[in-house]
Amino acid sequence: MAPAARDFSSRHEPLPSQRPDNTAFTQQRLPAWQPLLSASIILPLFFLAGLSFIGIGIGLYYSSNTITESEGPVFMYYELTNYYQNHYRYMISRDDKQLSGFLNNLKNPVNECAPYRVDSKQTPIAPCGAIANSMFNDSFTLHYYNRSGTYEEVPLTGKGIAWWTDYNIKFRNPTDGTQNLSKIFEGTAKPINWETPVYNLSNFSYNTGFLNEDFIVWMRTAALPTFRKLYRRIETGNFTNGLPAGEYQLRITYNYPVISFGGRKKIVFSTVSWMGGKNPFLGIVYLVFGCLCTFFAIVMLIVFIKYQGRSDDDDI
């Protein structure tokens, strides 16, 4: 005699329905608007965009050309060429938490800093990474031949050269309740290419450790292989209103080699405008884009006038 079939239907809950709710949103019944792009809309839009970009481009280009790279108030930049700070492996070779003052990351840097994470004795490096290790370290002094027949050193200030957000938000010195940075950085090693630990970068309390503004400026990587970084400002002493005409000496302490990557170094003295330092590139981009918009608008206008009123039946 065959065993009786067992009924399992009463032991299981019914499966939930996979059907979406019957709403306007889930059933895609919401009202939609689709613009009808006609010549009366497209042509004025292209002309307006073209003329607007040309106007902005002329303003930016003129503003850039009014900047004189020698008179005051003067900003002093160093420039490097053929230096690819935008390389991916180079850009990620840093520890932002370490630079923000996290004590745990001070002694335990992230793996992205390798091979500049620890030194040969396995001591953690602070600051770690390729960017910090390759920090620009040439130094410059400027001297003016004054009326008394002697060379007077032009006062250069390094305070205020970093971005406000970097100096006040992104970068922080680690703290353990004391103000002794040398004690806080005990158990760490300086970057391999550095001559001094990070806490000795400056004699001023506001400009040392991770808050050293030369270091902060270097850590903001550049997008292009030729770039300038702000080195000093000249706005004190007898040079508040700029550099007077005359004879100058620029004395350079050469520490940073560039021959290995085929680069060059420059020193640039420049004023600034409302748009920053001298850089005609942005104005040229606006002018080119505006001219292209205007050109295509003229072409479309000619085509529209030529074929206006012509129907498809005319081609049969």
> 227, 83 in Cβ contact below 8 A?
yes
Residue 26, both tokens: 């889930």
Q: Do the beta carbons of residue 162 and residue 173 sit within 8 Å?
A: no
Give the Cα separation of 83 and 75 in Å (integer). Answer: 22
Kindly report whether the global pTM for this prediction surpasses the value 0.85: no
- Closest listed residue to residue 132, CA positions, set 115, 116, 109: 116
Q: Residues 268-279: what's their mean pLDDT?
A: 68
Compare 96 and 44 and report the one with higher pLDDT.
96
Task: Report residue 277's pLDDT band, with 50, 70 and 90 as the boundaries.
Answer: low
Phi (first) and psi of residue 301, to 5 degrees:
-65, -40
Lookup: tokens for 146? 């004054």
Closest CA to 54 of 316, 289, 263: 289
**DSSP characters for 255-295?**
----GGGT--EEEEEE--BTTBSS-THHHHHHHHHHHHHHH
Helix (H) or strand (E) run with residue 41 in it: helix 39-65
pLDDT tens-digit series, residues 142-162: 999 988 899 999 998 888 899
- Give per-residue pLDDT as tens, 245-255: 889 999 999 99
Amino acid letter for position 208: T
Whether omega before 127 lies within 30 degrees of 0, making that bond cis, reads yes
Q: Is the pLDDT of residue 67 over 80?
A: no
| Confidence at 314, pLDDT banded by 50, 70, 90 | low
Per-residue confidence (pLDDT) for residue 212, from 0 to 100: 94
Q: Answer whether 140's CB lies under 8 Å from 267's CB.
A: yes
More confident residue, 280 or 243: 243
**Cα(150)–Cα(303) distance, rounded to whole angstroms?**
73
Tell which residue, 263, 277, 266, 268, has the closest CA to residue 134. 263
Over residues 91-143, the pLDDT tens digits come to 999 999 999 999 999 999 999 999 999 999 999 999 999 999 999 999 999 99
pLDDT value at residue 53 = 87
Q: Is the pLDDT of residue 242 over 80?
A: no
218 vs 227: CA distance, rounded Å: 11
Q: How confident is the model at residue 263 (pLDDT cuts 50, 70, 90)?
A: very high
Of 274, 106, 112, nearest to 199 by C-alpha is 106
Nearest one of 129, 15, 60 to 285, comparing CA atoms = 60
